[in-house]
Structure 1
């Protein structure tokens, strides 16, 4: 499939995890990709892709950096068709009473102001190309409590609402805005959890709260993002797609394995 042949795509947070998997997948399907990240991972991802990619160091929560990144896509590829605003930080796991206002502000700056800036500066360029898509990375933590820290959860709830508001405010532009809501996924952010489980011989317990009984790999989230960015999702707009193994489909319950009955 070459769903993005001739398309220009920006992926923020493209230096690792979901962003890297998505950047590679976009390129494999014909896109020219701007890989944006605060770290040298951007250069590594671009090198993995080859000539169809350009790397740029950028802070997703900096308006100047977002403007530079969009300008680079327009300069190198003649415009912009897809923005995948994926960059984010975790903010740790402290509870409300142990979380500082400074930490909340920084998490919101990157995780919420970042997607806001991506929409603000990418959408007009996408409109110039006749339409396209913006995909934001939210989280199941933004759907309800229990999947992240107060700072992270609040920021991702804001991303979900931002996708809805942006979809409405871009009415008639042929620019769709949607969000993906990952569950537990093996990325740099969650690496300590997966590494600890492997070292302890307990990897089978990771993700056990969802019906699939496992965590996700970045490529699984990338495929969902590419679907929302593609013409296959041409009538999907203003939505938050949970990609979480079924975690958010239920309130917390005690489950039995399929085919087993209570003793």
Structure 2
């Protein structure tokens, strides 16, 4: 008995060339899963090489139906089935305001961030159900909970992901396929690199993440641990849920702490 939490499981992780996706693919494999990793970037092959024989890399677009179907097919043909789908791929789309973003840009962000998870659920759920059930998880964001954490299109897309997993969980009733979302806060990944670089250049690196009670940004490995929980049997009664992993940011609207008579600690 190894005690590995995903022993014998087969998983797909999109957006696995870097950041949360790469960290999660490594953790899933370390916990016993065989993993199909995918990304639009060729760097996804580096992820697979670092994992070894338990990984298979495919370059593809998570927002295109044929590419998503190919991932499920690869999991079944190479590893014998599918138990876990992590629809993690996404783009930030920048911080353009309501009147500064074109309809074309808005649609492209929705295609990747929202239609991508929809396709992941649509194609993965039947394959997972054939194995007797399993887990689908999608990366949303605290930006999908309320305004103030991202651009208008990004925020709308992530709000859609949260509702999507709730709706899908209901539509998959009786299948033993669970569908949940993860809502990261500020995490140090390629998507947030410009924020970290700007703060460092301005001599304000120590202020990154100061709006949350932990007063720091998060790391991809911390999100990977949350993904592992939702992917594993440890979360067997968690379904249709959006798990917030943000250091406490979403527990309150931002405020100036000295106005609250904060006790010095």
* Range of TM-score over shorter length: over 0.9
Number of equivalences: 261
Does residue 1:221 correspond to 2:219, yes or no?
A: no
Please state how far the C-alpha of 1:251 moved relative to its aligned partner.
Answer: 1.8
Does residue 1:168 correspond to 2:170, yes or no?
A: yes
Please state how far the C-alpha of 1:200 moved relative to its aligned partner.
Answer: 3.3
Please state how far the C-alpha of 1:141 moved relative to its aligned partner.
Answer: 0.2
SS of the residue 1:189 aligns to:
helix
* Partners of 2:80 and 2:141 in 1: CA distance: 32
Does residue 1:141 correspond to 2:143, yes or no?
A: yes
Please state how far the C-alpha of 1:258 moved relative to its aligned partner.
Answer: 6.0
Does residue 1:157 correspond to 2:170, yes or no?
A: no
SS of the residue 2:47 aligns to:
helix
Please state how far the C-alpha of 1:109 moved relative to its aligned partner.
Answer: 0.2
2:263: which partner in 1?
A: 259
Q: Deviations over 1:82-102 (max 9, x none)?
A: 000000001110101001000
| Equivalence map 1:104-143=2 (5 Å) | 104-143=106-145
Please state how far the C-alpha of 1:163 moved relative to its aligned partner.
Answer: 0.3
Q: Deviations over 1:119-174 (max 9, x none)?
A: 00000000000000000000000000000000000000000000000000011111
Please state how far the C-alpha of 1:192 moved relative to its aligned partner.
Answer: 1.4
Structure 1 gap segments, 5+ residues each: none
2:186: which partner in 1?
A: 184
* Partners of 1:101 and 1:176 in 2: CA distance: 33
Deviates more, 1:252-261 or 1:238-247: 252-261
SS of the residue 1:96 aligns to:
coil
SS of the residue 1:190 aligns to:
helix
1:212: which partner in 2?
A: 214
* Partners of 2:264 and 2:18 in 1: CA distance: 39
* Partners of 1:72 and 1:252 in 2: CA distance: 45
Does residue 1:76 correspond to 2:51, yes or no?
A: no
Please state how far the C-alpha of 1:196 moved relative to its aligned partner.
Answer: 2.5
2:6: which partner in 1?
A: 4
SS of the residue 1:79 aligns to:
coil
2:205: which partner in 1?
A: 203
Please state how far the C-alpha of 1:195 moved relative to its aligned partner.
Answer: 2.1
TM-score (norm. length: structure 2):
0.96
Structure 2 gap segments, 5+ residues each: none
2:20: which partner in 1?
A: 18
Please state how far the C-alpha of 1:201 moved relative to its aligned partner.
Answer: 3.0
